[in-house]
């Protein structure tokens, strides 16, 4: 399958955007991201399909957009897809915990570690707001894009 890609300069650093051949967003990554994507030789640089994503990201970073409305397509296990769908319901400016996400998807408290793994595997940084998930004690726990970016995003949203 052909992967389309583009870069977007943001206040949290350059973002690598990928999409499928139909233009559906498949990932948003930052340099040095744990399990982040890197441009492959077979990928095709094609900025046009990313115009809506770039406009919405620019509006988000300007404090003018609170909810992304983009077509995206991700591939994960049924469990990960449920966790990612729960992330999509965490509103701008709010935070939630790993335990609350587990409860939202009907998973047991014992599943909190698996929920954390699914959140860490989120391929759509910023767009799917995994940065809004914090520790039960209010601590800013791991973020695949780096804790300094998590702080920047939560500060932008007024959650810190």
- Nearest CA to 12 among 27, 32, 26? 32
Element (H, E) at 8: strand 4-10
- CA–CA separation, 39 vs 93, rounded Å? 32
HSE value, Cβ hemisphere, 13 Å, CA-based, for 33: 26
The answer to whether the CB of 8 falls within 8 A of the CB of 14 is yes
Burial of 19 (0-12, 13-18, 19+ CB in 10 A): buried
Q: Which of 130, 133, 134, 156 is catalytic?
A: 130
Q: Are 23 and 69 in contact (CB under 8 A)?
A: no
130 is catalytic: yes
Cα 76 from Cα 7, distance rounded (Å): 24
Please identify every residue annotated as catalytic: 130
């Amino acid at each position: 399958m052909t992967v389309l890609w583009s870069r977007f300069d943001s206040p949290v650093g350059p973002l690598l955007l990928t999409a499928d051949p139909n233009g559906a967003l498949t990932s948003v990554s930052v340099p040095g991201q744990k399990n982040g994507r890197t441009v492959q030789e077979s990928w095709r640089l094609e900025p046009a399909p990313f115009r809506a994503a770039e406009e919405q990201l620019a509006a988000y970073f300007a404090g003018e957009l609170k909810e992304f409305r983009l077509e995206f397509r991700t591939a994960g296990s049924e469990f990960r897809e449920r966790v990612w769908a729960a992330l999509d319901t965490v509103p701008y400016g709010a935070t939630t915990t790993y335990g609350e996400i587990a409860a939202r998807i009907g998973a047991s408290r014992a599943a909190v570690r698996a929920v954390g793994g699914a959140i860490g595997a989120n391929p759509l940084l910023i767009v799917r707001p995994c940065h809004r998930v914090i520790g039960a004690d209010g601590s800013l726990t791991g973020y695949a894009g780096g804790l300094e970016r998590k702080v920047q995003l939560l500060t932008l949203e007024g959650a810190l």
